[in-house]
Amino acid sequence: GAVVSQHPSWVICKSGTSVKIECRSLDFQATTMFWYRQFPKQSLMLMATSNEGSKATYEQGVEKDKFLINHASLTLSTLTVTSAHPEDSSFYICSLMPRHWGSNYGYTFGSGTRLTVV
Amino acid sequence: SQQGEEDPQALSIQEGENATMNCSYKTSINNLQWYRQNSGRGLVHLILIRSNEREKHSGRLRVTLDTSKKSSSLLITASRAADTASYFCATVDRGSTLGRLYFGRGTQLTVWP
């Protein structure tokens, strides 16, 4: 299956600063990537769909200006949490849509980034 | 947004026993997938069942799908302590052009040695 690398695995930042999280597809060109956030002991909430070369599609209730997504190449998507506040503290996970998502292939997930805003 | 509910929210069993988790969803789907997540880690894909399939097996895993009831179940047979994790079902909507995957709430499985 596909291999995805997500960095950093954890980050602590001060309130008001911005944090960038990277998600790289290592072995195939991913035109579509997804970003999720997960609160402790809860499920994954889809934040946005990242499409290479075009604007991201955000889910309802997700602030576009707060969570900036850039998918400038076929192997890299980034999520920038701007002007982070403690309530943005969460576990952020990226995912690649498989090459043939209509068939029997599951999605590949990054290892996640634990963001703590102090 | 989340797709639906998983039941139970938490399950605690002994090694060797079977574990059954259920998932309900709300929309018409293209496929349903089960994932496993160890604490603080990413997700690992376990098995995918398509909307025109009713049952699928993979090793110790057995998945069923009932589209009339909009529900699925995951059975792990002869469980092991290493199976301790959170298990999530996720669906892709029928007709989806973006392939977005929506997750259920998850079941926390604890297997005691």
pLDDT in tens, chain A (118 residues): 678 999 999 999 999 999 999 999 888 788 889 999 999 888 999 999 988 888 899 999 999 999 999 988 888 999 999 999 999 999 999 998 776 655 567 888 999 999 999 9
Q: Band of the pLDDT at B100, cuts 50, 70, 90? A: confident
| Collapsed DSSP state (helix, strand, coil) of residue A87 | helix
B80 alpha carbon, distance to own chain's centre: 17
Tell me what pLDDT residue B4 has. 65
Tell me what pLDDT residue A13 has. 96
Q: Do A32 and B50 touch (CB under 8 A)?
A: no
Which of B2, B35, B48 is facing A45, going by the closest CB pair?
A: B2
Dihedral (Cα; B90, A110, B85, B77), 10-degree rounding = 60
- Beta-carbon contacts of residue B100 (< 8 Å; ≥ 6 apart): A34, A46, A49, B92, B93
For residue B104, give the nearest of A95, A46, A33 by alpha carbon: A46
Q: Do B43 and A41 touch (CB under 8 A)?
A: no
Which of B98, B101, B108 is facing A107, going by the closest CB pair?
A: B101
Residue to mutate among B43, B52, B56, B97, with most A CBs inside 10 A, is B43
> ∠ CA(A108), CA(A110), CA(A114), 5° rounding?
150
